[in-house]
Amino acid sequence: MFAPGTQVRVKNDWPELRGPCHIRTPHYVRGETGVVVRHLGDFPNPEDLAFARPAAVRPLYHVRFDPKPFWPEGAAPDELVIEIFDHWLEAA
């Protein structure tokens, strides 16, 4: 579990290159660092549910990223907050 305020990195993984898959993590944040805002609860992994496979229950987080690298025209108080499951995150 990641506590709010923990700095995390989204894994730079590309499972779609290995075959058919369902991914909920946007490609543009893979390898990027953000901060956990809150734990949203624990839910069955939709990447498995999409293929009717047994789905482990995993923590889901709101992770905040600095929006400037993605949208340079942004300005305060803009935020980029994305829901990301724990198996896509690692301590930064």
Q: Could you tell me the domains of the chain? A: 1-60+83-92 (2.30.30.50)
E strands, 11-91, where? 33-44, 57-65, 80-85, 89-91
CB-CB contact of 61 with 84 (8 Å): yes
Express each pLDDT in 17-27 by its tens digit: 777 778 889 99
Quick: pLDDT tens for 21-68. 788 899 999 999 999 999 999 999 998 998 899 999 999 999 999 988
pTM: 0.89
Amino acid at 11: K
